[in-house]
Structure 1
Amino acid sequence: MTRVRVLVIDDSALVRKLMSTMLACDPEIEVVGTAADPLIAREKIKQLNPDVLTLDVEMPRMDGITFLENLMRLRPMPVVMVSSLTVEGADVTLRALEMGAVDFFAKPDHDLASRFGECAQEICDKVKLAARTRPRARTTVRKLDVAPRLSADAVLPRAQTAGSRGGSPIIAIGASTGGTEAVRVVLEAMPPDAPPILVTQHIPAAFSGPFAARMDRCSAMRVCEAQDGQPIQSGHAYVAPGSHHLLAMWDGAKYVCRLHDGPPVNRHKPSVDVLFRSLAASAGAATIAALLTGMGDDGARGLLELRQTGAATLVQDENSSVVWGMPGAAWKLGAAGEMLPLDHIAPRLLALARQPLAGALRA
């Protein structure tokens, strides 16, 4: 069996040692070398020809982002970013995913040695998964011009229309590995008056707020991290917090976001299955759901439940997915009415929302 050849890049000697030890314990992985900074790494890549890099975000002489940008331009290869669980670390990591990094590993911020041991399986899985992917440059889409956002009160108090009523479409999106970029592509293509969008992306709690803020800057919609009891309104997208499940509930007059601090589902919290099931119960055929790139099968069964209510259901195709785990599982289960490349998903979601009944893709 050919082992995955890994080069570990980190300015901390302790982290290099711990990462190398964890990775070397997996019989399918071979650590071929380490580097203390990107300039050393550049020479070792030429000498060792690794399959995957693990790359620290903050390093001397050249930061990880600059190195990654040069690498993806000159010698694209699979990269797993190693990031701290801070707001600053989250923002830089999201930039790295935009540039073509496959995934990221959140570095514990204290008690490094013992906490790293708990995460050994996670980093090994991410490295092996990365080795099976094809590096992708940032997807180019025709982006809408996003007008400056002024408060409505700056001109005239604006009459507030009712939020989502029974039968009004709601879009739901689930994603995991590769999903931060896939979600960006979809949201960038949405107009400011698009139907409300609920997003469950597998992401650590420290990253979900910065992720929502980054999506808000690149989308004509208003994008925010969901709050409990928040009304679900057109022109808004709601991102599940990394610490809670996101549900959509009908309160008798409107749809609202509900956050649930229950146990992980499919080993994930937030879980896509939980979001999709809540919509199957509360919105049914008014839902339009898309399951994007991601490892595992979270969301597949929930998507099937939605389709059985008459909801429109889509999955991302294999060629445009970083990992065709979640969408592939849903497709094999018969949970999706259509399979589309990533850049076709936003137009299709909007087209379905304009139909008299959102559930136009019934089985």
Structure 2
Amino acid sequence: MNPIRVFIVDDSAVVRQILQAALDQDPGIQVQGTARDPLFAWQRIQGHWPDVLIVDIEMPRMDGISFLRKIMAEYPLPVLICSSLAESGSQFAIDALAAGAVQIITKPQCGVREFLQKDAPAIIQAVKIAARARVRALPQASAAATPVKTAASSGLQLLAQRSTEKVIAIGTSTGGTQALEFVLRRLPATLPGLVIVQHMPEKFTAAFAARLNSISALEVREAQDGDRVLSGRALIAPGGKHMRLARSGAQFIVQVFDGPLVKHHRPSVDVLFRSVAEVAGRNAWGVIMTGMGDDGAQGLATMHQAGGHTLAQDENSCVVFGMPKEAIRLGGVDEILSLEQIPQRLQQLIGAGYGARS
């Protein structure tokens, strides 16, 4: 197999040198070149596109996030952001993920050399994961396709301040930040409540939920233990915690709790989906989207067996097809849809009052 070609863009000559030395340890990776700023990098890579870009944020002439957006618009490539500005939960990190970064590597403010040398195996692994990602430019949201919070929609939400009789559960991982944004900004506030697991570290999910809340007609928030599942509300599992659906009398609530890693993840999609199958049964819709590995596949199959209606994102629109592919293999998927089809299909199913398979 050909080695993974990597291009490094960082204004620090020391960082470029250390990153190249770290990646050179793996015979399956070849550093194609380096550049001190995005404009010079753009000249160097055109016609000689690398498999993975590693990009800093703060650089001369053009910042890394603007460069990332340029790449995604003109020639989508897997991009790793490696920056001291992209600390957990920072706006820079959220903006980078929303713009299409596959992963964030946070450099410390001090001791960068020691950090990059010590974390060389993790950086090598991140490059290999990124190289397997199928990155593409997402369709741009039009005004018509983007519901906004209005006085009218707020009134609808006030009328709906009761636990939803049905629930939508979504699980996603690598590539999911963009995919979730695409889906949620196209859903109206009249939908049943949503419970969501996006694989993210601690401190990222609160900022991510706030971003989604600002661009969606839904009320999107990081879940807290005991939160009610309400129509027009989307609850995102906090990074570093599991989330499951439960009942409190006639109401759906979420329980947020510590626990061991499940399928190497906390939060785990499987934990959420299994609880939805148990608590909501045929009154649930399950959606598994882009992500590496198999977390959520068995849980979606359990939802399917319990009578819920299940959807999986198709291979062509996934950044990484691992999670949906495994769910399909297990026979737990009723429909395979492109990312563009998922929000419309949810509205069709719910509008028809369709939950269980007939």
Normalising by the residue count of structure 2, what TM-score does the alignment of the two structures yield? 0.89
Residue equivalent to 1:66: 66
Instruction: Give the gaps of 5 or more residues in structure 1.
Output: none
Instruction: Give the gaps of 5 or more residues in structure 2.
Output: none
Distance apart, 1:67 and its partner CA: 1.9
Q: Is residue 85 of structure 1 aligned with residue 112 of structure 2?
A: no
Residue equivalent to 1:54: 54
For 1:276, the aligned partner's letter is F
Give secondary structure in 2 for the equivalent of 1:331.
helix
CA distance in 2, matches of 1:289, 1:335: 10
Residue equivalent to 1:211: 208
For 2:317, the aligned partner's letter is S
Residue equivalent to 1:5: 5
For 1:289, the aligned partner's letter is G
Distance apart, 1:349 and its partner CA: 1.8
Residue equivalent to 1:319: 316
Residue equivalent to 2:103: 104
**Cα distance, 1:121–1:292 mapped onto 2, change above 3 Å:** farther
Equivalent pair of 1:141/1:343 in contact (CA under 8 Å): no
CA distance in 2, matches of 1:170, 1:119: 41
Distance apart, 1:284 and its partner CA: 1.5
Distance apart, 1:180 and its partner CA: 0.8
**Cα distance, 1:262–1:346 mapped onto 2, change above 3 Å:** same
2:356 to 346, 355, 359: 359
For 2:24, the aligned partner's letter is A
Equivalent pair of 1:56/1:82 in contact (CA under 8 Å): yes
**Cα distance, 1:291–1:120 mapped onto 2, change above 3 Å:** farther
Equivalent pair of 2:93/2:104 in contact (CA under 8 Å): no
Q: Is residue 333 of structure 1 aligned with residue 330 of structure 2?
A: yes
Matches within 5 A, 1:1-363: 1-46=1-46, 49-83=49-83, 84-86=86-88, 87-97=90-100, 101=101, 103-109=102-108, 112-113=112-113, 115-116=115-116, 119-142=119-142, 143-148=145-150, 161-164=161-164, 168-356=165-353, 358-360=355-357
CA distance in 1, matches of 2:37, 2:148: 38
Deviates more, 1:280-289 or 1:66-75: 66-75
Q: How many residue pairs are counted as aligned between the two chains? A: 351
Equivalent pair of 2:153/2:189 in contact (CA under 8 Å): no
Distance apart, 1:15 and its partner CA: 3.3
Give secondary structure in 2 for the equivalent of 1:230.
coil
Query: Percent same amino acid among aligned pairs?
Result: 42
Distance apart, 1:192 and its partner CA: 1.1
**Cα distance, 1:325–1:163 mapped onto 2, change above 3 Å:** same
Distance apart, 1:116 and its partner CA: 4.3
Equivalent pair of 2:98/2:178 in contact (CA under 8 Å): no
Distance apart, 1:93 and its partner CA: 1.3
1:182-214 deviation per Cα after TM superposition (whole angstroms, max 9, x unaligned): 111111111111111111011122221121111
Give secondary structure in 2 for the equivalent of 1:284.
helix
Equivalent pair of 1:313/1:335 in contact (CA under 8 Å): yes
CA distance in 2, matches of 1:297, 1:336: 14
CA distance in 2, matches of 1:308, 1:113: 52
Equivalent pair of 1:288/1:352 in contact (CA under 8 Å): no
1:209-252 deviation per Cα after TM superposition (whole angstroms, max 9, x unaligned): 12111111221111111111111100001111112111111122
Give secondary structure in 1 for the equivalent of 2:315.
coil
Equivalent pair of 1:246/1:257 in contact (CA under 8 Å): yes
